[in-house]
Amino acid sequence: MIPRDSCESPAAIEQLLRRYPRLLPLRDVLLQASGLMAGCARSGGKFLLCGNGGSAADADHIVGELMKSFVRTRPLPLSFSRALEQTDPFLGRAIAHKLQGGIPALALHQQPAFSTAFLNDVDPYLLYAQQVAVLGSPGDLFWGISTSGDAKNVIYGAITARAKGMQVIGMTGRTGGQLKEHCDLCICVPEDETYQIQELHLPVYHALCMSLEDELWGPEHESLSGAR
């Protein structure tokens, strides 16, 4: 786990806590989550996310914020822009002008051919675990979302991720359920009803994605991000 010093608290997280004071007890775990995400991204790791129903939609939403610009502009590394222009002086320059920096991320429910075959032929509960076993690598980050914390397929995915040497973040409701036992850290928002849990999950992951974007593409980090 990568701790963050409280004096280095990301602005996006502090803004979240001002807007949602009920989340103040989660400040430390949110700072730790921000640190895990930054460590994964800086080391070249990828994010594997999963959930069911509305939580699957949240996994998709997070991928959307990671894979392209969210709030800040994300210029490509200069070396990659030059490589595109060298590959094709005209088209490569146009491509480089529009492409954005991003963080590799995948929502694990978005594989319909594989998923339907595995669900039918093997075991529905191991759907996410199978993908983590194949796609996951040490240094990657698994982010499992379950409002109850008891979704078996998410739990099995988390167990498999830890066996692969990945960091594991859970995002759940108040109790954390069984998923909490298999996470490096678990963000347990203070609600019990599914829809109310989801209403707090969204601003939490927005703040975490914004914090990561600031970390990698903020003005003070331009030299690290390879900005032009």
pLDDT over 50 at 5, yes or no: no
Burial profile 157-172: b = 16 or more Cβ within 10 angstroms, e = fewer: bbbbbbebebbbbbbb
Helices (H) then strands (E): counts for the chain:
10, 5
Confidence of residue 2 (pLDDT cuts 50, 70, 90): very low
User: Is position 122 within any domain?
Assistant: yes
Average pLDDT value over all residues in the chain: 93
* pLDDT tens for each residue of 85-94: 999 999 999 9
| Structure confidence at residue 9 (pLDDT) | 76
| Structure confidence at residue 166 (pLDDT) | 98
What gap in Å lies between CA 149 and CA 171, rounded to an integer? 8
Determine the length of the chain. Answer: 228
Q: How many domains does the chain have?
A: 1
User: Is position 43 within any domain?
Assistant: yes
Arithmetic mean of pLDDT, 177-191: 98
Task: Name the residue range of residue 42's domain.
Answer: 10-73+103-218
User: Is position 97 within any domain?
Assistant: no
What gap in Å lies between CA 48 and CA 45, rounded to an integer? 10
What gap in Å lies between CA 126 and CA 164, rounded to an integer? 15
Arithmetic mean of pLDDT, 124-134: 98
User: Is position 227 within any domain?
Assistant: no
User: Is position 95 within any domain?
Assistant: no
Confidence of residue 1 (pLDDT cuts 50, 70, 90): very low
pLDDT over 60 at 225, yes or no: no
Looking up residue 64, the CATH number of its domain turns out to be 3.40.50.10490
Q: What is the DSSP letter of 22?
A: G
User: Is position 4 within any domain?
Assistant: no
Confidence of residue 219 (pLDDT cuts 50, 70, 90): confident
User: Is position 48 within any domain?
Assistant: yes
* pLDDT tens for each residue of 99-128: 999 999 999 999 999 999 999 999 999 999
Residue 77 phi/psi, 5-degree rounding, is -55, 140
pLDDT over 50 at 141, yes or no: yes
User: Is position 65 within any domain?
Assistant: yes
